Amino acid sequence: MTPSIIDYDSGISAIDTGYVRPMLAASHLIVDSGRAAFVDTGTTLSAPTLLAALSAKRLERGDVDWVITTHVHLDHAGGAGLLMQSLPNARCVVHPRGARHLVDPARLVEGSIAVYGAGPFRSMYGDIVPIDAARVHAPADGERLALGKRSLEFLHTPGHAAHHFCVVEDASGGIFTGDAFGVSYREFDVDGHAFVMPTTTPVQFDPDAMLASIDRLLARRPPALYLTHYSRVTGVDRLGTELKHRVAVFVQLARSSAALPDRGRLLRDEMFRLLSVWLDEHGYAGGSDERHRLLDDDIDLNVQGLEVWLNR
């Protein structure tokens, strides 16, 4: 197995987890003074890829101190259990509100099957392996953990999910944002400029909390953000302004559609139209078929999340 790895500065690398399509979901590897941490793991099916990446970086499995999951959605944390079985010295770091779901993933699996269906769930995620509670650490907001000579600070950032945190590493000031700062696919880059959009997936979307979390990240003035979908972006202030506007537009779209018949279909159609307008303004030249290929899965999940929020 030859993993697809992008190396950045400050000992940070992005590893393609192989989820759904190339460059959809990344696990980030941080290395300092011979010690290593993974930030997000992909699915159970991703674990062999991450272990191959360790070998490619000439690291031993015992060199990994931390397996960090920004939240417990399975494209971020589904592979943590199987990965931990191969990393004898690692502890799994997870938000206090998500820790029990990695120790006993039954409810997590049940909820994911409700979203995706049993067949697609198994093909995308495999079997979810529980983690020994003694190897799980749930950091408080603002807590710092050591990795080699640097520290990793954990900021609780609800909005996408109540069990979400972001990770600030002090060597560069970069932040690993999971889904708190939306998604930014490299296929949409134009002249080196990224395009960002919110992710409002089920079942805990909270727009006020999401906007507050985005502001908290922007207040750190990070030179770069490392999104799980997909990896490093710069020009953070511009992206933050655009992202907050798009969250507000999605919320207004949901509210204006709340009482309409066939609400879900109307939301999907209008969300695709809005994203296409923003992509046109961004300068993206891809046609409708390519836009549907890259956007439709996210749109389906976003609409589900908005409808759950409306119903709640």
pLDDT, tens digit, for every residue of 239-252?
Answer: 999 999 999 999 99
Return d(Cα 129, Cα 226) in angstroms, integer. 26
Residue 50 contacts residue 19 (beta carbons within 8 Å): no
Q: Where are the domains of the chain?
A: 5-236, 243-311
pTM reported for the whole predicted model: 0.97
By the 10 Å C-beta count (0-12 exposed, 13-18 middle, 19+ buried), 110 is classed as exposed
Tens-level pLDDT at each residue, the chain (312 residues): 799 999 999 999 999 999 999 999 999 999 999 999 999 999 999 999 999 999 999 999 999 999 999 999 999 999 999 999 999 999 999 999 999 999 999 988 888 888 778 888 888 999 999 999 999 999 999 999 999 999 999 999 999 999 999 999 999 999 999 999 999 999 999 999 999 999 999 999 999 999 999 999 999 999 999 999 999 999 999 999 999 999 999 999 999 999 999 999 999 999 999 999 999 999 999 999 999 999 999 999 999 999 999 999
Helix (H) or strand (E) holding 114: helix 106-116
For residue 295, the Cα-to-chain-centroid distance in whole angstroms is: 16
Structure tokens given for 53: 């990446």
Place domain 5-236 in its CATH homologous superfamily: Ribonuclease Z/Hydroxyacylglutathione hydrolase-like (3.60.15.10)
Q: DSSP code of 286?
A: -
Q: How many CB atoms lie within 10 A of CB 65?
A: 22
Q: Are 199 and 209 in contact (CB under 8 A)?
A: no
- 218 HSE (CA, 13 A, CB side): 17
Cα 110–Cα 16–Cα 81 angle in degrees, nearest 5: 40
Give the neighbor-by-neighbor strand order of the sheet with 225-227.
Answer: 144-147, 150-156, 165-169, 175-178, 225-227, 231-233
